[in-house]
Structure 1
Amino acid sequence: MKAEDIMTRHVVDVMEFDDIYQAFSKLRQYHIHQLVVVNVDSQLCGMVSDRDVLRAWAEVSNSDRDFPRIASIMQRDVITCGPEDPITRITEVMLDHHVHAMPVTDAKRRPIGIISTTDLLRFGFKHLGFTRSPGLPATI
């Protein structure tokens, strides 16, 4: 199995010059924890997490109308993979580097998908032969 087999194809992104309010809005709207940051050429230039945004939000005073830009809080050193990379290798890298989401990029470094720990859990659950227990509550 390869990255393209399990990746989420709808990549939610923000531009590096967007502000944290715009990032916060997208995180809430799509119920996600990570956003891909792109430049004007739609190339990956970073990632920003809900924690990054909330930390920056906490530092903004109530009277401050100028929210910080994404470029000032994003993680610039992003580990990526290609669509043909094997899931086993992607999983190893994510575990070794404590990464919760990995963008899948094309040859021009444009995001074409993203693999999250949820995607890996879903894949493992399905391919290891697990089935959902009847009557088990949605939350434990």
Structure 2
Amino acid sequence: MQHRKVADVMTREVVAVTEETPFTEIVAALDDHGVRAVPVVDGDRRVVGIVTDADLLRKEEFRDIGTEGHPRFESRRHRAARAKAAATDAAGLMSAPVVTLEPGTPVAKAARTLAAHGHKQAPVVDGNGRPVGIVTRSDLLRLFLRSDDDTRDEIVREVIVRGLWQDPSRIDVRVDAGVVVLSGRLEARSLIPICLRLTAATEGVVDVVDRLSYDRDDGRPGAFPRA
């Protein structure tokens, strides 16, 4: 199966800033380009950090309470937020080191990476660490917007026929709002978990319901077939 890569879903128009870029220019860049984050690059255009709209909003968050804290009584996270509220340029606002992705990263792996770090977006960089795009959670979620018919066709073609070498007329594949129901008979019992795993890995699949049976129990010689 050909799974889509980050390059297939990322935004290719990269708006980058330098560490010296002033606060107001960063706000203008986000607004002008309709993005929620910008990578920060060094003199060689290699990504060294990222500034998000959440970083910029720290200034508003601390407007009424001030940016002077009490180090003995605040958490590291609160102290970092307060520092960003006092920042006037990208160097003070950015998060670093930054989590980056490569264009060839599978979308599923990219989603796991963002989730593991609690990020909503990440710069996409080339082999030299220079930005070539940016990908967000919403970009990754677009995979679930494909039609049920497209999802079903791929499961029949790539899983049943090419992956398992089974007769597609013996397997009923139904897809409703991304939920796949598999029924019918496979040649061997050992093929069922493989079929379920490959189906679940198909883009657009939300869940898989197993109603499969088999002709031969190849795990237990002489056992009866599954009804």
Same fold (TM over 0.5): yes
TM-score computed with the length of structure 2 as normaliser:
0.51
Give the superposed CA RMSD: 2.3
Deviations 1:6-56 (A, max 9, x none): 111111111111111100111111222111111121110100011211223
Residues in 2 aligned to 1:33 and 1:125: alpha-carbon distance in whole angstroms: 22
The 8 Å contact of residues 37 and 48 in structure 1, kept in 2 or not, is answered as yes
Indicate whether 1:124 and 2:144 are aligned.
Answer: yes
The answer for the alignment partner of 1:90 in structure 2 is 110
Distance 1:79 1:29, change over 3 A: same
Indicate whether 1:41 and 2:44 are aligned.
Answer: yes
AA of the residue aligned to 1:15: T
Residues in 1 aligned to 2:100 and 2:27: alpha-carbon distance in whole angstroms: 23
1:110 CA drift (Å): 0.2
Residues in 2 aligned to 1:17 and 1:71: alpha-carbon distance in whole angstroms: 6
The 8 Å contact of residues 56 and 68 in structure 1, kept in 2 or not, is answered as no
AA of the residue aligned to 2:141: L
The 8 Å contact of residues 3 and 87 in structure 1, kept in 2 or not, is answered as yes
Residues in 1 aligned to 2:143 and 2:16: alpha-carbon distance in whole angstroms: 24
1:58 CA drift (Å): 6.2
Gaps of 5+ in 2: 64-86, 152-176, 178-227
Which is greater in Rg?
Answer: 2
**Identity, % of aligned pairs?**
30
Residues in 2 aligned to 1:127 and 1:52: alpha-carbon distance in whole angstroms: 37
Question: Quick check: which one's strand share is greater?
Answer: 2
Question: Quick check: which one's helix share is greater?
Answer: 2
Relative contact order higher in (CA < 8 Å, ≥ 6 apart)? 1
TM-score computed with the length of structure 1 as normaliser:
0.79
Deviations 1:63-101 (A, max 9, x none): xxxx71110110012111111111111111111211100
Q: 4+ runs of 1 displaced by more than 3 Å?
A: 56-60, 127-130
The 8 Å contact of residues 81 and 104 in structure 1, kept in 2 or not, is answered as yes
Residues in 1 aligned to 2:23 and 2:62: alpha-carbon distance in whole angstroms: 11
Indicate whether 1:10 and 2:16 are aligned.
Answer: no
- Aligned positions of 1:2-81 closer than 5 A: 2-56=5-59, 68-81=88-101
Deviations 1:78-134 (A, max 9, x none): 11111111111111111121110011101110000111112112222236666xxxx
The answer for the alignment partner of 1:134 in structure 2 is none
Residues in 2 aligned to 1:112 and 1:90: alpha-carbon distance in whole angstroms: 16
The answer for the alignment partner of 2:128 in structure 1 is 108
1:3 CA drift (Å): 1.2
